[in-house]
Chains A and B, each alone.
Chain A
Amino acid sequence: MELLEKTRPVQTLPQTTPPSGGARQNRENLQQASRTLDAYRSTVNRLLSGDSETFNRQVRQRSGQ
C-alpha cells in the first residue's frame, strides 16, 4: 500500500463539479450526479464480487500491434 500513501489522491468518492444554472436546476443536476455515482459504485462492487480469475484468463489475447 506504499503507493497509496505516496500518491494520496483518494478522497472517499470522485467529486462532481457543481453545475451551473438556477437553484432548482442545480438541485436536479446534483441528484442526477448522485444517482450516477451510485451506479458507478454499484458497478465496481458488482465487478469486484465476480469470478475475476476466470475473467482475466479469458481476456488473454493474441499479441496485436
Chain B
Amino acid sequence: MPSSDPERLPKIAGADIELGNFLLGHDSESGTGPQASRLLLRFLNGIPGSSFSSFKTDPQDFGRKWLGNGSCCYIDLDHLEMALPEVTNAWDFTAALHAQLRIVRAALRRAHDALPPGVSLHALACNSDGSGSSWGSHLNFLVTRRCYENIFHRRLHYLLWLASFHASSVLVTGQGKAGAENGAGPVDYQLGQRADFLEEIVGLQTTFRRPIVNSRDETLCGESRRFARLHHIASDMNLCHVANVLKVGSLQILLAMIENESPQIGLELILQDPVQAGIAFSHAPELDARQPTLAGEAVSALNLQRRFHEAAAAFVATGACAESVPRAEEILALWADTLDRLAARDWDALSRRLDWALKLRVLQEALQENPHLSWQSPEIKRLDLLYGSLDPDEGIYWSLEAADCVERLVPERQILRFVTEPPSDTRAYTRAHLLRAFGREGVVEVNWDRMVVRARPERGYYGRLKTIHLDDPAGFTRARTGGLFPRHHNISGEAILMGLAPAVRDEAAQAAVSSGWPHTNRDSARKRSAFDGIPPWR
C-alpha cells in the first residue's frame, strides 16, 4: 500500500431497508410474510431488474424492480426490501427514506383493494418482531479501497474504534423496544432494536451472529479497484428526521476520518467489549450504564458520544472533509445540541428528535392512563410494533408527526420530489433517466453499477444490446448527463448512448446469449407472476 496521502471520496450514502410485513385475517403455517411481501411488490410500479433470468429463485433477491426515482425494491426472504437511491448528504437521505416509505404505502393501499373482506395487509418500519427475529435497516457508504483495507486488514484499531462508536450511538439511533430478545437479559424498555442481535465485532454474515462491523465486500462499483463500500448493519430503522440526519451524518464524518487516516482517531475511545457495551447501553434508558475502555475507564454512552463528537469536530475543523461530507458543521452542531439535551434529560426536546425517546413517551403515557397494563402486556408490545406501521391509521409516528410533535428537518416538498425524482448529484440521476428513456421494452438488465439496454428497439424486436457502466456513484450526475435527458421532448436511445460514451460497451450481447436471451422484460414479468406465490384470491 502506498504511503502517499490517501484519496478522499464523497461519502455517498445509500440504504437497504427491510420491512416487517404480514397479513391479518389469513393464517398460514409458515407465517404470512411470503404472501404479504409479494403482494406489496406486485403493487409497486417499476421495471424488472433482469429479463435474462426469468426463473431466478434467489430467496434473498427475488423480483427486484427499479423505480423512477432511482431506487429499487425486492424481496429478501419474507421481507419487502427497499433500497434507496444514492445520496450525497444526510438531509437528502432523510427525504429519500420518507419518500420511499410513501411509495410503499401507496402500494399497500392498492394491495388492500385486492384483498377479500376480513384480510388486511400491514407493513412495519422496525427491526424486530419481538419474538426473536430481526431484520435490517442497512446503510452503505462509499469509501476508498485503501480505507476498506485499513479497517479490515491493516489498521484494526480503526475497526475497534468504529465498533465502539456504534455501541454508544444507540443513544441517538435507537428506535426503542419493549423487552429483550435473543437471550439478552430482561428489561422493560431499551433504546435499540438491533442491539440484542449484535453478537460479534466483525464478520461477513448478516442473518445470524450479526457483527457490529460488517465486512461484506461488494462494491457495487464495477471492476474498479478505486472504490469500496462499507455495509453497515448495526443501526435501527429511524423515522425521526433528527435521528436520521445524525445517524448518517455522524457516520459520514467518522468514515471520512478513517479514510483520511486522521490523527484524531484515538485508542482512548476503544471499549474493551463493544458487543457487551452495545447491549448494556441499549438496556439503560436511564442513561446510567457504564462500560470499560481499553484503559479501564468506566464510561457512559453519553460520555463516549461526546468524545467522538470532539474528535469529529477537531477533524472537521482541519477542512479535511469539506469536499466529502456536505454540511459537516451543521451535523456537528445538531449532534452536540442533542447530546446536551440528553445530558439535561430534556425529554420534551428529545422526544421530538429521537425515536426511542418518542416511543418511550407514547408507551409511558399508555401505561399511566391504563394502570392495569405493564411493560410486559401484549397491548404495550402492540403499540411498540405499530409505532412505525406504514398505515397512517395505525402508525403512531405519523399521527405525532402530523400533530407537530416531531422536529422536521426536510420540507414536505423535498420528500414529495424524491417520490418521483432521483437525487440530482449522484449516479441515481442517470439511472432513473435511463429507465425512463428506454422503458420496459428497452431495459434488459439493471444493477447499481450498470444497465443493459436495447440500443435501437424501434428498428427490430431485439435491437442491439449495449451495457452502460455506472461505476462511480458520484459520477453521472445531472451536471454531467442532464443535457442528454431533455425535459420536454424525446431523444433517441442512440443519441443517449453516444452521449454516455465511453461508459457504453458492446459486451452485453455475449452475456445475453449465455443467460437465455431473448426474453423481453414483459415476458419475464409475466412468467414471474405465475410463480411468485401470490395468494390465490388475486
Contacts and interface: CB of A to CB of B under 8 A. Distances in A.
Whether A associates with B in a native complex is yes
Interface of A: 1-4, 6-17, 19, 33, 36-37, 39-40, 43-44, 47-48, 50, 52-56, 58-65
A64 B77 contact: yes
B221 interface: no
Nearest to A50: B382
Contacts of B148: none
Given A9-B351, A43-B399, A50-B382, A64 B365 contact: no
B386 interface: yes
Contacts of B377: 52
Most buried by A among B208, B357, B361: B361
Interface residues of B, number: 69
A40 B399 contact: yes
B368 A7 contact: no
Q: Which of A3, A6, A8, A33 is the most central at the interface, judged by chain B CB atoms within 10 Å of its CB?
A: A3
A40 B403 contact: yes
Given A40-B403, A62-B77, A64-B18, A47 B383 contact: yes
B370 A13 contact: no
B3 interface: no
Contacts of B76: 64-65
B297 interface: no
10 contacts: A37-B405, A40-B400, A43-B394, A55-B24, A56-B130, A58-B24, A61-B133, A61-B135, A62-B78, A64-B133
A40 B208 CA distance: 37
A60 B31 contact: yes
Given A48-B370, A61-B129, A61-B133, 14 more contacts: A3-B285, A10-B361, A16-B403, A37-B403, A39-B402, A39-B403, A40-B396, A52-B378, A59-B122, A59-B124, A60-B131, A61-B20, A62-B133, A65-B233
A59 B77 contact: no
A26 B382 CA distance: 35
Contacts of B394: 43, 47
B393 interface: yes
A61 B33 contact: yes
B364 A33 contact: no
B375 interface: yes
- Ranked 7 nearest A-B pairs via Cβ: A64-B135, A9-B347, A36-B403, A52-B378, A40-B399, A65-B136, A14-B405
A65 B133 contact: no
B189 A3 contact: yes
Nearest to A17: B404
B207 interface: yes
B32 to A, nearest CB: 7
B458 interface: no
Interface in B48-104: 60, 76-79
B379 interface: yes
B393 A43 contact: yes
B368 A15 contact: no
A63 B361 contact: no
B207 A55 contact: no
A52 B378 CA distance: 6
Contact of B286 (A6, A11, A47, A61): A6
